[in-house]
Structure 1
Amino acid sequence: MNAFLAAPTRHTILLSGCAVLALLSAPVHALEGASVSLGTIFIDTARDGSDDDETIVADQVTSGSGLPSDIMDSSASISVITSKEIAQRGAQTTEQILQYSAGISTDYYGRDDRYDYFKIRGYDATTYRDGMLIGDAFGGVREEPFAFDRVEVLKGANSTSFGVGDPGGAVNFITKSPTGERLRQIYGTVGSFNHKELGFDLGDTFAGNSDLSWRLTGKMQDSEAETDESTDDETFIMGGLAWRPSDRTTVSLVYDYLYRDGYPNSSGYPATGDDFDRDLFLGEPDFNYLDTDRHTLTFKLEHDFGNGLEFGSTARYTKGTGGFGYVFLGAVTSEEDETVSRYYFANDADFENFVVDAHLLYETTFGTLSSRTMGGVEYRDNHRENTLWYTRAADIRWSDPVYTGGLDLDATAPYQDTTTDTQVASFYLQQEFAWDRLIVQGGLRRDWIDNSITDNLTDVTTEADDVEDTLRLGLTYRINPNLSLFGSYAESVVPASLGEEPERGKQYEVGVKYRPDGFRGLLTASVYDLTKYNETVTNADTLLDEVRGESRVRGIDLEAKAELTEQFSFTAAYTYLESEILESDNGSNNGNELGSTPQHSGSIWTNYVMPGQGSLGDLNLGLGVRYTGEYWRSDANTGKTDAAWLWDAAIGYDIAENTQMRLNVTNLLDEKHIAQGGYSTDYYNAGREISLTLNHSW
């Protein structure tokens, strides 16, 4: 604990945060004595979670214990990024949405855009959509943030609540769906690297007081990328219908389609110590693609029987293809000739997933004791065929690159071709008792996991069956309406490669939450100890599993979100982690820290609205800073990435009523560092990007 309190970097972060606050509060002091009103203190009493577009401070959460609840009552650390906060920061990717939250590290693979790269409390995160499993962020499809109303982050093990997942935590995306209210929004964006984008979000009922409503959301993006010979195009469309025959019943159907035509990797830069231009491309123009083509259909039914009994069910079917092909660098072959070796690497995948969940929620009271009970079943059927190619490419001269052509996959033998089928049947039970100021939460889950992998190169099938039980216990004590103490024990489980024991995790956590009366805000502090057993990790360069064994993370998370006035708001976060590999495959990494896991990280984003006068509209000013401490690039702890400070900024101006222009800049000072290195190759962090958006609603 002394190490936590003595960390000098934290003091640096806090001092910097104070400087940012002072900078953005300067307009307030400038207005002293003038006739401009700075607004009244914001006090909100409607804590129903329905105003995510009006506030950055959420009160309700669907994660936590698995039961929807007030965040103050949940015995877990939770970060909610509302639609207003996403818009304030102009976040365009999942990583950008998450990078101002405590306990989360992002951007540790630089400009590798194959996946969403983020870890929670030192471990790869599991992603969910409306509480139903999507899969690992690493190795999965990059989600489109415009599809979601909010993003909930549950820190720590959560298999009892949602099913299989890593112990560090989970990200739950909440889908935009028909609300029955009129919604009209369109926007256009231009920006760096010839970025052009159009989007819309429309909704309404079919007639005046009709019980049928609809919503249509989409975006089209045409863009190049920071690295030469790279594109970043996307088409996304989502349509939903909802039927509400009464105030007790809702039936909805949502279809969405995601197509990406992007680039997988910057190809890297020779590890010579030289400072290369970010746009230098040493791959092959004819072999540099990242394709995603995914269809998703979701059906949802909710019914309130009255007398405290509610039923809910969701079914989701997903089908798609994905893959990438690129050339990455190997070792330098000649310093004198400035040449470096290269390798073709490609992946092709077909996937089909089905998941259905059904549950009952019963709420009742026994005198002064309140009870909520949720019991449910879930079934998942996942199918995936995955093919990998890897072969030598011609060397290239980095000072004067000459491209030699792509790779014909049809004429090249893959080094891996597998078909994986996984079926998981689950039963879960969540229970909550509340008496006076004390809230007790518990959960049990059993997963029956059937897994088979067929090696299509040898026609050999391997099968395994597992039955896994997970437990969660939590306790919250409301000291007063504004202050909560909480503690919990939680377990996690993830099926590993066949032949390996399932990965299991456990976490102990204690913390405190404070929600003030004088302004809308939420402050959370927690201390945790989590361990993962039978651990298998996926190598990002080869996509092959490697056994790590056992590891542990201990840490502190501090997070604050506040709207001090109607004009001024901020979010701040700090994390300290101590990670250790307890057991590795051959013992060579025992005692090392986890790769891509900084000990210190922190951030602060401030937002100030300068009210307009007369014909002048409101001016919205945002400024943020992110700090990532140094970290080892791999579990071997043979090379470190330097600590870095990155600044982001946003300026918005209300041109007219319901029309706003917004300028966003990420990495404002164009700070440059090696985010990841390995196999004699370096990868830089993303450079400065500027975007200008015109948004209109009516």
Structure 2
Amino acid sequence: MVALRLPLHGLALAGVSLIALTATAAAQQSAVTLETLSVEGAAAGTGRGNGVVAAPGVRVPETARGPIDGYVAKRSATATKTDTPLIRTPQSISVVGAQQIEAQRSQTVSEAVRYTPGIYANQFGPDTRLDWFLIRGFSATETGLFRDGLQLFQTSFANYRIDPFGAERIEVLRGPAATLFGGSPVGGLVNIVSKRPTAEPLHYVEVGGGSFNQRYAAFDLGGPADDSGHWFYRLTGRLQNSDAQVRFAPEDRYYIAPSFTYKPDGATTFTVLTSFQRDNTGGAGQFLPYYGTVRPNVSGLRIDRQLNASDPLVDGYTRNQANLGYEFEHHFDDVWTVRQNFRYSFTEVRDQRYVGNGYADAAQTELSRYGFLTTPRAGLFTVDNQAEARFSDGYFGHTVLMGVDYKRYSLSDNQASSFPVPSLSILSPRYYQGSTSPVPYRVVNQQLQQVGLYAQDQVALTQRLTFLIGGRQDFVSNVVQDKLVLANSTSKDESAFSGRLGLIYNFDNGLAPYVTYGTSFNPTAGVDGNNRPFKADRGEQIEVGAKLQPVGWNTFFTVAAFDLKRSNVLTPDPTNVFQSLQIGAVRSRGFEASATANLAEGLNLIASYTVYGLRTIEGTTLDLGKVPVGIPETFASLWADYTIPLGDYKGFGFGGGVNYVGRSYANVANSLIVPEYVTFDAAVHYERDGWRAAVNIQNAGDKRFVSSCSTATACFYGTQRRIIASLGYKW
């Protein structure tokens, strides 16, 4: 094991050395443009997907980080870190564009990905604090959230949340991604691509409101900032005042994202991306018992979906978060390009509430509760240096990517609890009940550092056959200082290699079968009962699939079968409820299918289907052979939206969707079943002369359902019916 702690000046030297190396190599290479792997032409000044983009609605060839014309994306950089057509990418990836987010009026990133295969979001209901993701059966919440290709690492309640109004596209990569991104979940990741400065003037404002006393205003402004064509800007913001779907809890948000791009010439782009957000909410995480939500309790009662199990006397959640970063790109010639992507992210949270803990009486009408308080602060420094070369060796075409990245995560974690807390009647709840002051049980400082060296080659063996090979070596240092019990302070150094192989064949008719194999690792925080730090969890996957992009059709179809295994999984210790054992392994085998299509002018359709078998293959006698709790193994969705293109009713449109989620389990023994459920969405809208009015309804039938349960005393109601009316104007 090697401990690697690089100071900032050392990291800067690494970046300078990388640029110098690529500049020298560029002079020794003959530039050859590969038609099979070349980037399609972009708007003037866009480079290869970086920097300024065309304004939404302006028809130019798509780039990996730019707007999508309609619903059907053609390119992405998430799977390969290079601007690559999806039809030539040998791994499952789905892209949700800004137009789809607008059509469905998604309020959170979790809502925006509901029609995407392989991912189940908001398994804990409409949590007002953060977005939750399960990809192919494994959590991607803590280490699987990325923004602009850089990780937003979150742990111990120090979390981030991104307003989808600031997203140009949301990309869901399924399967291991550690070869390019280092420590990340084996199931996949969610990468949110920010809105960027536009080459054309953009002016858009929107107001709206609806259920739960929601009111909001949003704006999106951008374009050239000078007459010379060197400076561009964008300013995006959204302000919301609302209640949550449980009583006595606000859901307020203030978000603003200034950005600008400087292009001194056609080869160089420097884009600064910033965002600032404040969330003020409460009532998060309604931990309710299985009997009383999924099933009636012994008194034949079900708990009201709007019941706040906490108390307005103490209940409150505030988060201040900020992101400051840049993207630098320079093309030396037709072969070599270098990039440096940097961001510093900061978040501070105060979360205080009463938490449900089962029933306090035999009649099951009084909820037992305990008090909880946490005040974490976290800073995350990330930088990614890349060198890309596109050339031919005389036999094969190559897109070579080399890089070194660095991450430093610093956390100040404080958690406290209080006992006893007055119980709460589910029949006639009485609030404003005080309790004893919370007593700290965790006061920890943590610093995680990670350095990764990676290389990847996309080899065009023929005009149709592409081979992808990549490898990465990571060095991780994790230091945990326990301020309550100094003897529990630990440190651990790890190194890990991860790799990926892929092969894809592109037929002339648009069919592209592929096969890929990849491995992953993910550092695991915490210690076992003997105060030994946990090992990083490991994963591997083989995936076989096919993509279809029929010639002349604006459609994209995918199918994929996968076999995925995750090792070193934490398993509850049957002899100590406060400890975990790292003896687990879980296998996920399944099938996914999706269709994204513009079937006719004004008609867009999205469909997806996912089914997999999830089993614990190593663990204790309690969970061996069982399905992990809270994870549905089947889900499907369909959304269609139509806008009349011609005639007297031109601009009028309507849409609707259906979501099906299969059953899951509420306990390790798999004896408590959370039933399947189906919800419906609807939309009606009208566009004319720059104006757009819309009404969107989520869960139109107001279906009462439980999203999941993590234990028999921790179940979570799903989203109630939500109606949102909006009015926007673009000029």
The alignment's TM-score, normalised by the length of structure 2, stands at: 0.85
8 Å CA contact 1:551, 1:583 repeated in 2: yes
The question of 1:205 aligning with 2:224 is answered yes
Query: Which of 125, 135, 138 is residue 153 of structure 2 equivalent to?
Result: 135
Q: Secondary structure at the match of 1:146?
A: helix
1:415-564 correspondence to structure 2 within 5 Å: 415-434=441-460, 435-460=462-487, 461-497=489-525, 498=527, 499-536=533-570, 547=582, 549-564=584-599
The question of 1:157 aligning with 2:180 is answered no
Q: Secondary structure at the match of 1:193?
A: helix
2:406 aligns with: 379
The question of 1:394 aligning with 2:409 is answered no
8 Å CA contact 2:338, 2:386 repeated in 1: yes
Query: CA offsets, 1:450-481, max 9 Å, x none?
Result: 00001111234211100111010000111225
2:269 aligns with: 250
Query: CA offsets, 1:479-532, max 9 Å, x none?
Result: 225010110100111011352221010000010000012420000001000000
Query: CA offsets, 1:561-606, max 9 Å, x none?
Result: 000111212000000110100112x332000012222221100001
**Mapped partners of 1:543, 1:107: distance in 2:** 26
1:268–1:413 Cα change, 3 Å? closer
8 Å CA contact 1:330, 1:679 repeated in 2: no
Query: Which of 665, 671, 686 is residue 703 of structure 2 equivalent to?
Result: 671
8 Å CA contact 2:610, 2:634 repeated in 1: yes
2:105 aligns with: 90
8 Å CA contact 2:240, 2:253 repeated in 1: yes
- Superposed displacement of residue 406, structure 1: 4.6
Query: CA offsets, 1:180-224, max 9 Å, x none?
Result: 321111100111011000111101222233311111111111001
Query: CA offsets, 1:149-172, max 9 Å, x none?
Result: 001111100100211111100111
**Mapped partners of 2:242, 2:579: distance in 1:** 31
Query: Which of 636, 646, 649 is residue 602 of structure 1 equivalent to?
Result: 636
- Superposed displacement of residue 548, structure 1: 6.1
Aligned partner letter, 1:389: A
Aligned partner letter, 1:178: P
1:68-83 correspondence to structure 2 within 5 Å: 68-83=83-98
- Superposed displacement of residue 138, structure 1: 9.5
2:305 aligns with: 278
Aligned partner letter, 1:165: S
Aligned partner letter, 2:129: R
**Mapped partners of 2:581, 2:313: distance in 1:** 31
8 Å CA contact 2:546, 2:559 repeated in 1: yes
**Mapped partners of 1:163, 1:371: distance in 2:** 23
**Mapped partners of 1:618, 1:582: distance in 2:** 54
1:662–1:543 Cα change, 3 Å? farther
Query: CA offsets, 1:68-98, max 9 Å, x none?
Result: 2000111101100011111111111111111
Aligned partner letter, 2:263: R
Aligned partner letter, 1:361: E
2:610 aligns with: 575
Q: Secondary structure at the match of 1:161?
A: helix
Q: Secondary structure at the match of 1:72?
A: helix
- Superposed displacement of residue 340, structure 1: 2.3
1:141–1:636 Cα change, 3 Å? farther
Q: Secondary structure at the match of 2:185?
A: coil
1:660 aligns with: 692
1:202–1:538 Cα change, 3 Å? farther
1:477–1:406 Cα change, 3 Å? farther
1:573–1:71 Cα change, 3 Å? same
Query: Which of 126, 131, 134 is residue 116 of structure 1 equivalent to?
Result: 131
8 Å CA contact 1:197, 1:221 repeated in 2: yes
1:49–1:521 Cα change, 3 Å? farther
Q: Secondary structure at the match of 2:332?
A: strand
1:611 aligns with: 645
The alignment's TM-score, normalised by the length of structure 1, stands at: 0.89
8 Å CA contact 1:519, 1:565 repeated in 2: no
Greater shift, 173-182 or 222-231, is seen at 173-182
8 Å CA contact 1:551, 1:579 repeated in 2: yes
8 Å CA contact 2:666, 2:712 repeated in 1: no
Query: Which of 349, 353, 356 is residue 322 of structure 1 equivalent to?
Result: 349
Aligned partner letter, 2:174: K
2:318 aligns with: 291
Count of residues in correspondence between the two structures: 648
Aligned partner letter, 2:449: Q
- Superposed displacement of residue 122, structure 1: 0.2
8 Å CA contact 1:114, 1:264 repeated in 2: no
The question of 1:305 aligning with 2:325 is answered no
Q: Identity over the aligned pairs, expressed in percent?
A: 25
1:628–1:357 Cα change, 3 Å? same
Aligned partner letter, 1:342: R
Greater shift, 192-201 or 60-69, is seen at 60-69
2:719 aligns with: 686
Q: Secondary structure at the match of 1:86?
A: helix
Aligned partner letter, 2:521: V
Query: Which of 614, 627, 633 is residue 666 of structure 2 equivalent to?
Result: 633
**Mapped partners of 2:66, 2:256: distance in 1:** 24
8 Å CA contact 1:180, 1:212 repeated in 2: no
Query: Which of 670, 674, 677 is residue 644 of structure 1 equivalent to?
Result: 677
**Mapped partners of 2:110, 2:100: distance in 1:** 14
**Mapped partners of 2:94, 2:451: distance in 1:** 29
**Mapped partners of 1:479, 1:90: distance in 2:** 37
8 Å CA contact 2:549, 2:556 repeated in 1: yes
Q: Secondary structure at the match of 1:306?
A: coil
**Mapped partners of 2:313, 2:632: distance in 1:** 37
**Mapped partners of 2:440, 2:352: distance in 1:** 13
Aligned partner letter, 2:146: Y
1:236 aligns with: 255
**Mapped partners of 2:584, 2:198: distance in 1:** 47
Aligned partner letter, 2:118: G
1:299–1:65 Cα change, 3 Å? closer
1:266–1:430 Cα change, 3 Å? closer
Q: Secondary structure at the match of 2:261?
A: strand
Which runs of structure 1 show a deviation greater than 6 angstroms over 4 or more consecutive aligned residues? 542-546
**Mapped partners of 1:144, 1:546: distance in 2:** 36
Query: Which of 357, 369, 377 is residue 350 of structure 1 equivalent to?
Result: 377
- Superposed displacement of residue 346, structure 1: 2.2
**Mapped partners of 1:156, 1:94: distance in 2:** 20
Instruction: Extract unaligned runs of 5+ from structure 2.
Output: 1-58, 528-532
**Mapped partners of 1:150, 1:189: distance in 2:** 22
- Superposed displacement of residue 53, structure 1: 4.6
**Mapped partners of 2:581, 2:70: distance in 1:** 43
Aligned partner letter, 1:529: D
**Mapped partners of 2:507, 2:286: distance in 1:** 54
**Mapped partners of 2:552, 2:271: distance in 1:** 39
Query: Which of 48, 67, 70 is residue 55 of structure 1 equivalent to?
Result: 70
**Mapped partners of 1:55, 1:405: distance in 2:** 52
**Mapped partners of 2:556, 2:364: distance in 1:** 58
Q: Secondary structure at the match of 1:553?
A: strand
